[in-house]
């Protein structure tokens, strides 16, 4: 009898020592204040399986704690300890919502109904992620909703040169081991937009080296090749026979240094894959697995493309949580999106939004484990 009691006590002690994630709750606190003194709410979403933090500044995904195959939690999204870290970083877009137009617009220029618009350039000859002050740099309105948080931003007519007052909402909701991101937008004048999340994932954990030994699978037979300034050439090229073929799981680092013009231009992977699924219905974008921890991330989306960016431009100049310098390939992004520079490629799926229409898109991030 005594023996049974001892065993039970031991099991209880072990169970209590494992850092369990609390069940189905959303908690708000203040992460910090902007330079203008605006308080920034941060929300912790828990589901029993994973814990997610999102904040009102840039509607950032700040952290995702997910279990490995033994149940041990690690943060698998790169991020900063404090709001100051995010305010000081105008380069990496770590976990932010990028907009009004995620990825590049050639020359920062596009034409709608015969009128040409110019976005200020912030990436050599091009505009990147909406220009010098993108949606990742604003404090969004926020409110709790069932299972999560809704963020809203009104970008005025002419903001960064874009026409039309655009109202965007981003909803993060957590159920079980799946984080869902819903985007909606409406405008009062015809405009273009491409909203996505720019989280960097590292399934080893945010302070555990780089992503090169993790495996990637992308549900795409084609990609959009780019010129030397990373603007699509308009071609949809087959991935077959190239190091961009991830139709079967492949170790990311295995071919990243291959003698391939596209990889050389980008210093690694930084391309838009043309997803095989149907636009507007949830389909597979990518699956990342970490053979070391067993963690697995499945990304599904209603978007036509995904930008797999292997963190090529991280160069140690920003220090994240746990005092870790983010070096090349410390994390990878899977930016579900319309194709880069779509406003200048009439054959690409359209990014035009007119008054009276609502843009709606959904991406889900599901965390699991492999043996
Ligand atoms: C782009 C990269 C860019 C990075 C900035 C990515 O979405 O594809 O080319 O350097 O964002 O963090």
16: number of Cβ within 10 Å: 9
pLDDT of residue 24: 80
The pLDDT averaged over each successive group of 10 residues in the chain (371 residues) is 52 48 84 97 96 98 98 98 96 98 98 98 98 98 98 98 98 98 98 98 97 98 98 98 98 98 98 98 98 98 99 97 97 99 98 98 98 89
Active-site amino acid positions: 198, 335
Instruction: Return the residue whose CA atom lies nearest to atom 8 of ligand 1.
Output: 270
Q: Is the separation of the CB atoms in 186 and 285 below 8 Å? A: no
pLDDT of residue 17: 44
Ligand 1 atom, smallest distance to 103 CA: 7
186: number of Cβ within 10 Å: 17
- Choosing from 90, 270, 273 the residue with most ligand 1 atoms within 8 A of its CB, the one to mutate for a pocket test is 270
- Choosing from 58, 92, 93 the residue with most ligand 1 atoms within 8 A of its CB, the one to mutate for a pocket test is 93
pLDDT of residue 3: 57
Which residue in 264, 268, 266, 244 sits closest to 256, CA to CA? 268
Helix, strand, coil proportions of the chain in percent (round to 5)? 10, 40, 45
**Rg (the chain; Cα; Å):** 21
pLDDT of residue 1: 47
Task: Tell me how far the alpha carbon of residue 285 lies from the centroid of ligand 1, in angstroms.
Answer: 18
Ligand 1 atom, smallest distance to 270 CA: 8
The helix (H) or strand (E) run that includes residue 222 is strand 220-224
pLDDT of residue 15: 47
371: number of Cβ within 10 Å: 5
Write down the CATH number for the domain with range 25-369: 2.70.98.10
d(CA 262, CA 259): 9
Kindly report whether the peptide bond that precedes residue 100 is cis, defined as omega within 30 degrees of 0.
Answer: yes
């Amino acid at each position: 009898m005594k023996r049974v009691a001892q065993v039970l006590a031991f099991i209880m002690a072990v169970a209590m020592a494992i850092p369990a994630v609390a069940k189905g709750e959303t908690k708000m606190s203040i992460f910090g204040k902007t330079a203008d003194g605006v308080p920034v709410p941060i929300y912790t979403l828990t589901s029993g399986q994973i814990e997610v933090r999102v904040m009102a500044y840039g509607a950032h995904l700040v952290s995702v704690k997910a279990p490995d195959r033994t149940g041990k939690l690690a943060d698998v999204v790169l991020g900063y300890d404090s709001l100051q870290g995010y305010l000081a970083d105008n380069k990496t877009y770590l976990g932010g919502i990028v907009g009004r137009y995620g990825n590049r617009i050639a020359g920062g220029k596009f034409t709608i109904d015969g009128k040409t618009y110019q976005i200020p350039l912030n990436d050599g000859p091009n505009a990147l992620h909406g220009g010098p002050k993108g949606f990742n740099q604003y404090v969004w309105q926020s409110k709790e909703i069932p299972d999560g948080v809704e963020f809203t931003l009104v970008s005025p007519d002419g903001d960064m040169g874009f026409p039309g007052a655009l109202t965007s909402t981003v909803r993060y909701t957590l159920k079980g081991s799946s984080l869902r991101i819903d985007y909606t937008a409406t405008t009062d004048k015809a405009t273009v937009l491409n909203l996505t999340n720019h989280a960097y994932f590292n399934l080893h954990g945010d302070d555990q080296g780089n992503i090169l030994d993790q495996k990637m699978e992308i549900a795409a037979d084609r990609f959009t090749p780019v010129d030397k300034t990373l603007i699509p050439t308009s071609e949809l090229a087959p991935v077959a026979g190239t190091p961009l073929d991830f139709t079967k799981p492949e170790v990311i680092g295995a071919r990243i240094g291959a003698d391939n013009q596209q990889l050389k231009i980008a210093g690694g992977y930084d391309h838009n894959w043309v997803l095989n699924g149907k636009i507007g219905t949830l389909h597979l974008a990518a699956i990342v697995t970490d053979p070391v921890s067993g963690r697995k991330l499945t990304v599904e989306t209603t978007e036509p493309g995904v930008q797999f960016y292997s963190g090529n431009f991280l160069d140690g100049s920003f220090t994240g949580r746990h005092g870790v310098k983010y070096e090349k390939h410390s994390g990878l992004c899977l930016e579900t999106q319309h194709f880069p520079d779509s406003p200048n490629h009439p054959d690409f799926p359209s990014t035009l939004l007119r008054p009276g229409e609502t843009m709606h898109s959904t991406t889900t991030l599901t965390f699991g484990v492999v043996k």
